[in-house]
Amino acid sequence: MSIAISRREERQNSGRSQAISLLQSKTQQAEASIRELLNNCIVAGRITSGASANQGAFSARVGSMDSGATGPQPLSVLIDGTAARSVSVGNINGATYTFWQNQATDSAATTFAGLKQDMNTMYNDCSRGAGGSPDLILTNQVSWEQYWNSLQNQERYVITEPRVVNVLAGSDAIKFRQAALVWDEVVPDQETNGEVVDAIGLSSGRLALGTMFFINSETFEWVRDAETDFITTPFLRPENQDARVAQILWMGAMGINNRRKNGSLHGISQSIVS
């Protein structure tokens, strides 16, 4: 992510007439953009070119200006909508080694009760064996609203685990058993290969079907290079150019050590109302 300011812009934004620092504003805008880009990389990734009409493979996002710049492997790859897909994650192919397959179910729910049953089944499937249960469910906006509407008025759903509330979701987290249910605008549609953002991060509207990622945070690891963790390089003026340019740099990866403790509930109808 680059920050550029020309000599003309600097002179126009100088002296007593300066209302705000243009360079500071450009830096803040770039920081906001790179946070949004990283979220897109982590949650959505991109649909693989030439993917099938349904349940196609996702992959890491690639830089639009530098094809050698790739994002971390997204949730849509680590928690695949097709569990037995012949794709290597961490150099292990889930089609060859079944122990490396995550849980995946195509929802057929048409009612709130059916949606809850699908969620319960996925939660239990991810809870089998040692290693605990999902503590985070990440979904799209409409699916979150459908689950919210399904809750009875006389019931109270409260999260008491500070780590989940403060770090993952804040006060908007909904309790589902031992997990926090939250939504993100870029969760993809794993059933029909729907992406909310295009190659350059622009919104493409609502999705046809919803997806819920059932995540066991104990099986995930977030790794970043301490020397390249959103650092801003010095401003340099390239030869034969008027502008000074700096880059915001980040380097890291997201890993998983037990895929079967995580799941994808996809194909969720976006028209459930009762």
**Per-residue pLDDT reduced to its tens digit, 202-212:** 445 567 899 99
**Cβ proximity of 41 and 72 under 8 Å:** yes
Residue 205: half-sphere exposure toward Cβ, Cα within 13 Å: 2
C-alpha–C-alpha distance, residues 208 and 34, integer Å: 28
Domain boundaries, the chain: 2-269
Please name the amino acid found at residue 131.
G
Question: Residue 153's pLDDT band (boundaries 50, 70, 90)?
Answer: low
Nearest to 266 by CA among 210, 182, 193: 210
> What is the reported pLDDT for 19?
55
> What is the reported pLDDT for 171?
57
| Most confident by average pLDDT, 19-23, 54-58, 246-250 | 246-250
pLDDT of 20 higher than 80:
no
> What is the reported pLDDT for 93?
94
> What is the reported pLDDT for 169?
46
What is the rounded end-to-end Cα distance, in angstroms, of the chain?
45
Least confident of 47-51, 89-93, 120-124, 146-150: 47-51
- Please give the average per-residue pLDDT across 112-141, as a whole number: 95
> What is the reported pLDDT for 167?
47
Share of the chain above pLDDT 70, in %: 82
- Please give the average per-residue pLDDT across 222-231, as a whole number: 89
DSSP state of 219: G
> What is the reported pLDDT for 205?
56
pTM for the whole structure: 0.82
Cα distances from 85 to residues 71, 94, 169, 172, 192, in angstroms, run 21, 7, 31, 34, 16
Higher pLDDT, 123 or 234: 123
